[in-house]
Structure 1
Amino acid sequence: MLKILPGMWWTAVIILLLFNVAAMPWIRMQRVSADDAPPRAAPPETAEPSYPDLAANDEPLPRVNGPRVVGATPGREFIYRIPATGAPPLTYTVTDLPAGLTFDATTGIIRGKLEKAGTTSVAVTVRNRQGTARATLRIVAGNNKLALTPPMGWNSWNVWGTKVSDEKIRAAAEALERTGLAACGYRYVCVDDGWQGRRTPDGAMQPNERFPDMKALGDALHAKGFLFGMYTSPGPFTCGRYVGSWRHEEADAQLYARWGVDYLKHDWCSYEGIARQKTPEALQQPYAVMRAALDKTDRDMIYAICQYGLGEVWTWARTPTVGGNLWRTTGDIEDTWESVSSIGFRHSPLAGFAGPGGWNDPDMLVVGVVGWGEQTRRTRLTPDEQITHMTLWALLAAPLMLGCDLTQLDEFTRRLLTNPEVIAIDQDELGRAATRRDAANDGTEVWARPLADGCLAVGLFNRGDAMQTVTAYWKDLGIRGRRTVRDVWQRRDVGSFDERFAALIPPHGARLIVVGASRPVRPQPVKPAKVVSPPSPGLR
């Protein structure tokens, strides 16, 4: 045995050396992920950890959600469903309604026709057995007072494509209620391409067999407090090769008004063959024609200009002759990181063109179950990419138009879409879109937008392929001093910070925070938290 022991000792030494060599790449990887941060980043030990999950949004206490301001034209139909969450049953009370409007205390729906121009502050109270929530809603009556905040709702295209039907639209509206999305402010239900049939000999447009009665559909949506969206094209054909509105704009606009349409998407498509010269006049002309037709109706309709950013549409879409309330800034979005990233992060130079009444539109949200036809599937975006998608759209003050199958809404997607603090940022009545405040070669970026209460909404993004520390420096945000920080996706106060805030962000991920307004604060201790893994790919 004495002769064997030395051999065993050397064997142990060799095994230990081999183990250390094998472990070195892993050790190197850990050092890279910790030390290879941007030169200006805070030390990793001061950074907040990455997200373990999204906060739940189903508190029993009542809460009033959605925008705090809404506008309409006097003498035209007004429908507004107060978005409120909390354990049912909820009861609603409003005071100081402007003349011409009535209120249903059971459903929380305000409707009627405003009698005169002006702004009215309406006190809203929502109660249940757990408590009471109060808010002030400003109702603005006047000309060109639509879309004072970005529209929120659902559109059929990204899930059903041209296979849309009356049944699917009604199912989406029911799902908006059942899932709690309507209670969070999603109120437009939009029929996209594929509803059209043929024109009668006198030129009247008829829906196809999948839509037996468009007015009845609109009435059903209005009864629930939803608003009705419609789609057409300035060309002879739509993108799906259905009949467009070319040379029938006035007749179509009057038809939409009779159906009770509240939102019209006007999609360039086959007009490409008519406007062969892409001069500013040629690009604007078809949208000015439909604008004039809409103005001859007796109905308010949000006007969504869809022509993919041609001719820098953001520079002219709000002119009186065009009168757009939102305008697509890019081509169609796809459910890939390349598409979402390339579209969303190009909007910093366009921020100044957005504001109450008119919004940059980077296209619909591609989260949840999508499909563009009869076959549906889960989005190809990872959970972290979906968080980035929603974070960036909220910061951009973009329309939040869902494009998924709401009847298959999973819990992750529901939490993603119903966070009231994220929605409040998107719907902030100041209407200032975010701009890029800092960017590094490693793909990390910091964006921020001012809010009406004096706070800043700040997004920390990691467009890279490895976990990285992203730091928001106060001097890049135009602020100074000690500020409170609230984590919006986690819905928790993180603490107070001086000069900067840092967070570990997973690949293609984001952190959304609200930095408090300038005021004396008492530093709050921050409990140490463990570094956790990003959400599981199994949630896809």
Structure 2
Amino acid sequence: MRFHTASPAPRVVTPPRSRLRRFMPSLIHAAVACGLLSLAASASAQVNGVGQKPYLGWSSFSQQTLDSAFLTQANMIKQSDALKASGLQAHGYTYINLDSGWQGGFDANGRPTPDPTTFPDIKAMIDHIHANGQKAGIYWIPGVEQPAVQANSPILGTPQHITDILAVPYRAGNAFGAPGTSPYHYKIDFSKPGAQEYMDSVVALFASWGVDFIKLDGVTPGSYSDDLSIDNRDDVAAWSKAIAKTGRPIWLTVSWQVDKDYQDVWTTYANGRRIDDDVECEGRCATLTNWPRIEKRFRDLPAWQETSGPKTGWNDLDTLDIGDGDLDGLSLDEKRSAMTIWAMANAPLYLGGDLTKLDETGKRLATNDEVLAVDQSGKPARQVLGGDLNVWVSDLGNGRYYLALTNMNATTTVARLPWNLVGLTGTRRMRDLWNHQELGPSVGEHEVVLPPHGTQLMLVEALPGHVAPTPTTSYEAEQGVLSGNAASYACPGCSNDNKVGGLGLGANNTVSIEGVYAPQSGAYLMQIDSLTLGLRSYLYQVNDGPFRTFNSGGSSFQLPSSSTVPVCLQKGLNRIRFGNAVSYPPDLDRIVISGRGDARLPSGTTYEAEAATLGGSVTAGFSNYSSGLAKAGNIGGGSANNVTFTNVTVPYAGVYQLEIDYLTQGPRSFFLSINGAGAKELSLNGSSFDDPVAKVLEVPLHAGQNTLQFSNPSGNAPDLDRIVVTPRVLPAVLGVSTQACKKDLH
């Protein structure tokens, strides 16, 4: 979301329970039959030589969030020169993209023109960018802005004027437009004469300046708007046709967080589409970005992973802020993990910040040619395991794979990956792409110690051989036991044309899938096919065991997204109940259980604060970036206002890592008591009540159940998202089996 007028408030509001709307899988064909769209013209826009691989470059917007006066012609020239001098360009970084704020008025034909104060000669600036061997990008929006509407300018080369092409009654022309008939951004009706010609004239103007890239922002359906009275699908087609008419190879990206229900339009008419909202904090934290906003990409990407490629365009994860030191808001390991998921997704890699201040660490990360080769492979990865240990695999053919393992927790963890999980018997070669090291062969299982939010990215060559098929059983949600507000809804994109919605916001609004069979007690894999727009979370229970968390994301309530997590089942029949007592879960299509009871569990266990015992005035409620989509607040100001975890269960007595995910703006303290011992003060700090921050301690725990209480007898405590308990990673622990399912089954 990047615009300079009438921008909506940041989306931290409560999302609707469900969004059911007409599914339109044949949209393109219907539009062509009506004469509205031209597949031949749009194909030229996608395959005109610019969209065969994701682009690399830089965008102005991240720095604009820190410095509102940054977007000037002089600064863009400095960024272009810095890109060339930095050495990044030699590794493929060539795009210099201007975001929102360059425009200052309109010409005699209603076309946007630069602000003469900040961009006195935009063509000269673009000529300078080209002379540096780079490409120039620009930002605009669908529809027509109010000043051009009021001027009612003639459309170049036609007898029509601007008001002749507007939709009637007047309404918003994009997601930034206001409601009503004076929306500031006005909708174009592309069935009217002159409408396509107006778009042709705008794109021709950009082309005359030498523009190589256009970002079309505020596109709907999407951008947090499902108002089909706006509906920019025809705008996107018109821009694509206009690009083709220029004969110039111009990359087209549609933004922001477009709706997957209409993926046929985005994949046909654009080279890239933003599948997420802004990665920048934009004043909601003290840095450019932070880990919760990176983690969101891991959660949203599975919904889009099958849509990406040279023929369909690329999934855009937004700016990669890794070159500004501490200002980025990410640790070194978090920066590696961010670039890893961007690369595995084959997403465009465009840096943010100020390139004149690019730090050496960021430069080293951004210029790792082995990692850049992953991004440019044209083989986007698929997620094979979600949850605490994310596993992504890209099949390069001929027994070669890119493989990424990422620790989603802030504790150090031992990650164990059975090769049969990714369809291999073992590997004859493994190469660590971040460290440029050969790791040798591996049979049966791969094991690695991952630092907090850390990643391992490898090129592997498989051993010959085939993995025996794994038993799988599918269970439809609508055939489960529906309680409270839970109900079955039609869902043409779902496995049985139905799904369950109305879950959550109450302990009784659940779906229980009965009769989940396991031949023996142990750990299995559970594929969860869910549907959501944005972040949502289940808290689920196996039989009457403890709550476990499934944090998901997505871009559709009609097309399910699949993610797989380990789950503990007892021998015989089991019940798995899905809900969320205090916040919003996704809709549920089905689950698929696979395995023989020998799957690996993550080494850490999560306990949600909202599911703990809340004392006194403590309340639980919605929190968009928190695990479980909820947190506990109003802690402290009295000893009774506390959060107590009564069932923190560990297999043996000893010292464990305790991750505390908290939220605060400014300094606050928890007093932590373990098993009734004297409370110790934890002085914490933060810059946001929206985004959790992790603090990791080492604490002694008893074998079996433990009680941990968070309070503050006199002052205000931070809000509390969750805790994660993980064994200390010591050499003696390596090779020992991960925690058993025993505590979940009894």
Output the amino acid matched with 2:412: M
* Separation in 2, partners of 1:266, 1:314: 16
Q: What residue in structure 1 maps to residue 249 of structure 2? A: 300
Structure 1 position 423, deviation (Å)? 0.2
1:456 aligned to which of 377, 391, 401:
401
Instruction: Tell me how far 1:240 sits from its aligned partner.
Output: 9.5
Between the aligned partners of 1:183 and 1:393, the Cα distance in structure 2 is 20
Distance (Å, rounded) in 1 between the aligned partners of 2:456 and 2:186:
43
Cα distance in 2 for residues equivalent to 1:381 and 1:265: 26
What residue is the counterpart of 1:419 in the other structure? 368
Residue 500 of structure 2 corresponds to which residue in structure 1?
Answer: none
1:351-430 matched pairs, under 5 angstroms: 351-357=305-311, 358-369=313-324, 378-428=327-377
Q: Report matched runs for 1:86-485 at 5 Å.
A: 143-161=47-65, 163=69, 164-208=71-115, 209-237=117-145, 248-268=198-218, 277-278=227-228, 282-319=231-268, 323-334=269-280, 335-357=289-311, 358-369=313-324, 378-428=327-377, 431-439=378-386, 443-451=388-396, 454-485=399-430
After superposition, the Cα gap between the structure-2 partners of 1:269 and 1:478, relative to the gap in structure 1 and judged at 3 Å, is closer
- Structure 1 residue 517 displacement after superposition: 4.8
Query: Matched residues in 1 for 2:334 and 2:202: separation?
Result: 40
Q: 1:272 to 1:236 in 2, by over 3 A?
A: farther
**In 1, are the aligned partners of 2:45 and 2:241 still within 8 Å (CA)?**
no
Query: What are the ranges of 5 or more consecutive residues in structure 2 without an aligned counterpart?
Result: 1-43, 146-173, 178-183, 189-194, 281-288, 466-693, 695-746
Say if 1:483 and 1:286 are closer, same or farther in 2 by CA, change over 3 A.
same
Q: Which amino acid aligns with 2:385?
A: D
Contact 2:58 2:97 in 1 (8 A): yes
Distance in 1, matches of 2:352 and 2:414, equals 32
Verify the 8 A CA contact 1:235 1:270 in the aligned structure 2: no
SS at match of 1:304: strand
CA contact (8 A) 1:469 1:502 kept: yes
Look up the match of 1:488. Answer: 433
Contact 1:232 1:244 in 2 (8 A): no
Runs of 5+ consecutive residues of structure 1 not aligned to the other structure: 1-139, 371-376, 521-536
Could you tell me the percent identity over the aligned residues? 31
Q: 1:506 to 1:195 in 2, by over 3 A?
A: same
Instruction: Give the TM-score of the pair, scaled to structure 2.
Output: 0.46
Retained in 1: the 8 A contact 2:45–2:243? no
In the superposition, relative to structure 1, how do residues 434 and 257 fare at CA in structure 2: closer, same or farther (>3 Å)?
A: same
Query: What is the identity, as a one-letter code, of the residue corresponding to 1:251?
Result: S
Aligned partner of 1:92 in structure 2 is none
Higher strand share: 2
Is the CA contact 2:221–2:228 (under 8 Å) kept in the aligned structure 1? no
How far 1:271 moved relative to its partner? 10
Specify whether residues 285 and 221 from structure 1 end up closer, same or farther in structure 2 by C-alpha distance, changes over 3 A only.
Answer: same
Render the CA deviation track for 1:281-337: whole Å, top value 9, x for unaligned.
Answer: 924122112122222212110110113123535343122xxx100001121113111
1:35-54 deviation line (CA, Å, top 9, x unaligned): xxxxxxxxxxxxxxxxxxxx
Counterparts in 2 of 1:453 and 1:213: CA distance versus 1, 3 Å: farther
Counterparts of 1:141 and 1:204 in 2: how far apart (Å)?
21
Q: Whole-Å Cα distance in 2 between the matches of residues 244 and 251 of structure 1?
A: 17
Change (3 A) 1:303 1:244: farther
What SS does the corresponding residue of 1:447 show, helix, strand or coil?
Answer: strand
SS in 1 for 2:353: coil
Q: Decide whether the 8 Å contact of 1:313 with 1:329 is kept in 2.
A: no
Cα distance, 1:226–1:245 mapped onto 2, change above 3 Å: farther
Q: Distance in 1 between matches of 2:291 and 2:363?
A: 20
Deviation for aligned residue 1:454? 4.5
Aligned-partner SS, 2:439:
strand
* SS of the residue 1:508 aligns to: coil
Q: Give the length in aligned residue pairs.
A: 367
Cα separation, 2, equivalents of 1:167 and 1:298: 29
Report the 3-state secondary structure (helix = DSSP H, G, I; strand = E; otherwise coil) of the residue aligned with 1:457.
strand
Change (3 A) 1:159 1:297: same
| Contact 2:176 2:218 (C-alpha < 8 Å) held by counterparts | no
1:506 aligns with 2:410: no
Q: Does structure 1 retain, via aligned residues, the 8 Å contact 2:81–2:132?
A: no
Tell me the distance in 2 between the aligned counterparts of 1:344 and 1:462. Answer: 11
* Distance (Å, rounded) in 1 between the aligned partners of 2:175 and 2:303: 29
CA 1:276 to 1:444, structure 2 compared with 1: closer, same or farther past 3 Å? Answer: closer
Task: Give the deviation of 1:435 after TM superposition.
Answer: 1.4
CA distance in 2, matches of 1:451, 1:515: 10
1:364 match: secondary structure: coil
Residue type of the alignment partner of 2:273: W
Give the alignment's Cα RMSD to 1 decimal: 3.1
Structure 1 residues 316 and 519, CA, compared in 2 at 3 Å: closer, same or farther? Answer: same
What SS is found at the alignment partner of 1:318? Answer: helix
Distance 1:269 1:314, change over 3 A: closer
Secondary structure of the residue aligned to 1:449 is strand
Which residue identity is paired with 1:149? K
**Structure-1 separation of matches of 2:232 and 2:367:** 37
Cα distance in 2 for residues equivalent to 1:368 and 1:356: 28
Equivalent position amino acid for 1:232 in 2: W
Q: Which has the higher helix share?
A: 1
Higher RCO by CA contacts (8 Å cutoff, separation 6 or greater)? 1
Aligned letter for 1:191?
A: L
* Deviation digits for residues 390-413 of structure 1 (CA, Å, limit 9, x no counterpart): 111111111101112111111111
